[in-house]
Amino acid sequence: MTDQLRTERLLLRRWTDADRPAFHALNSDPLVMATIGQTMSRGESDAFMNRIEHRFDEHGFGLWCVDLDGESIGFTGLMVPWFRDGVEIGWRIRSEHWGQGFAPEAALECLRHAFTARHAGGLGLDELVSFTAATNTKSRRVMEKIGLRHDPDGDFDHPSVPEGDPLRPHVLYRAHRATWAERGTGSDAPSEPAGPGVA
């Protein structure tokens, strides 16, 4: 179980009760939730944090708190979707911190951790998926920046979004460990290649 990951500017860590107000600020911001669904009450946000922490204990990974200089500015991490196989990578950043590349920075570290071999401290996954409402250009930009590829054959209607809702059509993106390892040698390589532990 890896409780913490670090990037140049960010600490990705487990959640504490002290983060609950900032987490609610994130989940109740209409700008943030416009591409996801309903804003959350404090109770709903607290219950969501409890589920995230439970998933860390269950899977050994989860949606890490993105900590900027001691302040929780959102989450980025890995989860198992309830309606399909695989492990998903996702993100949500407080709107006052948008546009500074925090989500892709955190996500690249999550990708590295996911694709690093188990004996080297990673999760040893072969593939990650990511999906978002087709209209969510901000999230799609993050996917593209970190090297995920759109798989149009995998696009789908999200089962928890009602029919007729414009957020229902979703796009599916994928990342594979082999491709990730190759990116480590390219000119647009991420700051940390997959590392020696990757097969």
Ligand X SMILES: CC(C)(COP(=O)(O)OP(=O)(O)OC[C@H]1O[C@@H](n2cnc3c(N)ncnc32)[C@H](O)[C@@H]1OP(=O)(O)O)[C@@H](O)C(=O)NCCC(=O)NCCS
Tokens representing residue 68 in the block: 């900027």
In whole angstroms, the minimum distance from the beta carbon of 199 to ligand X comes to 29
For position 32 contacting ligand X by CB under 6 A, the verdict is yes
Q: Are 100 and 142 in contact (CB under 8 A)?
A: no
Tokens representing residue 152 in the block: 């149009």
Sequence-distant (6+) residues with CB within 8 A of 190 are 108, 111, 112, 146, 147, 183, 184
Q: Among residues 21, 60, 101, 159, which is the contact residue for ligand X, using CB under 6 A?
A: 101
In whole angstroms, the minimum distance from the beta carbon of 80 to ligand X comes to 15
Tell me the sheet residues that pair with 14: none
For position 93 contacting ligand X by CB under 6 A, the verdict is yes
What backbone torsions phi and psi does residue 7 show, to the nearest 5 degrees? -125, -175
Q: Among residues 77, 104, 122, 147, which is the contact residue for ligand X, using CB under 6 A?
A: 104
Which residue stretch of 32-40, 50-58, 78-86, 185-193 sits at the interface with ligand X (rule: CB under 6 A)? 32-40
In whole angstroms, the minimum distance from the beta carbon of 118 to ligand X comes to 27
CA dist., res. 189 & res. 80, Å (int):
27
For position 122 contacting ligand X by CB under 6 A, the verdict is no
For position 79 contacting ligand X by CB under 6 A, the verdict is no
Tokens representing residue 162 in the block: 């009602």
In whole angstroms, the minimum distance from the beta carbon of 154 to ligand X comes to 15
Which residue stretch of 17-25, 37-45, 46-54, 88-96 sits at the interface with ligand X (rule: CB under 6 A)? 88-96
What backbone torsions phi and psi does residue 175 show, to the nearest 5 degrees? -135, 140
Q: Are 77 and 12 in contact (CB under 8 A)?
A: yes
Contact residues for ligand X, defined by CB under 6 A: 32, 35-36, 90-93, 98-104, 132, 136-139, 141-142, 145
